Amino acid sequence: MKDYFILLMLFALLSCEKEPEVVSAGQPSGRLLVKTEYRTSYGHVQADSFIYDHKGLNKRIFYYQGAYNSEKLFVYKENMIQMFGNNGGVLEPDFMTELKFDQEKRLSSIIFKTCCDYVTASEIFFEYKSGPKPSAASGTVNATYTFNDAGNLVKNNIFMSGNTYEFVMTYDDKANPYKQLPYYEFDSHYFSENNVLNYKQYKDGVLMHEVVYDYTYDAEGYPLKMVSDRDTTYYYYR
């Protein structure tokens, strides 16, 4: 098992230090996820379409109840990903996210910038080390991420405001279709190599929420259908 302590801090100013080595996006290998369809037990249907170019994901289009809803456009510039959102039917800057990597090509920081003037709204720093978790300064959230040998996030502990939140996941051994997408959201569905089978959420040691997932796979081991307690997701590839 691999344990990493990651320190998340919010800042309003950029660092003046030399930028680390850049990791390019690049066209992912393997089957590409081109559409997901999410159906709830209440009859609501949401679909996402994914369009790619030679650099990777180029556009994500959202549909709700069968109708066009909105879209996001991704532009890659060295170590920066710019995201543009739909505003009244016209693609305008929604916000900008800048990703930085260390010399081992691990994510070292994410900078979120506001629309239009691109002033830094917040920045998240990542620190990889073993040992006791660092003490939390004011305005700081400490988190630990534990991975198994397959590269799956199996445990996430968050320490803030005197409380401990723990998220525990188990996985199958099949390919995770979301892994091909350039999302740096800290959710096990995007972060891990395989697909989540069971998800538990604790607060100060008390189980607050649990979700069980069941999958149907194609011949190559990619999920075609995922059923949870309240909803069903369908996956389409090319």
pLDDT in tens, 26-62: 444 568 899 999 999 888 899 999 998 887 888 888 8
Report the distance separating Cα 148 and Cα 2, nearest Å: 6
DSSP category for residue 121: E
In a domain, 19, yes or no: no
Note the helical H segments in the chain: 188-191
In a domain, 20, yes or no: no
Tokens 């534990």 correspond to 146
- What was the pLDDT predicted at 186? 52
Q: Which of 109, 82, 96 lies closest to 6, judged by CA? A: 109
Report the distance separating Cα 187 and Cα 58, nearest Å: 21
Report the distance separating Cα 11 and Cα 122, nearest Å: 5
In a domain, 157, yes or no: yes
- What was the pLDDT predicted at 67? 84
In a domain, 64, yes or no: yes
In a domain, 56, yes or no: yes
Residue 93: how many CA atoms within 13 Å on its side-chain side? 13
In a domain, 34, yes or no: yes
Residues of the chain with pLDDT under 70: 1-30, 78-80, 86-95, 105, 115-119, 130-140, 182-190
In a domain, 24, yes or no: no
In a domain, 155, yes or no: yes
Q: pTM to 2 decimals?
A: 0.73
Total domains present in the chain: 1
Report the distance separating Cα 67 and Cα 47, nearest Å: 9
- What was the pLDDT predicted at 65? 87
CATH number where 123 lies? 2.40.160
Write out the residue range of the structural domain in which residue 149 sits: 2-14+29-237
- What was the pLDDT predicted at 1? 45
- What was the pLDDT predicted at 235? 95
- What was the pLDDT predicted at 89? 57
Q: Which of 56, 55, 60 lies closest to 35, judged by CA? A: 60
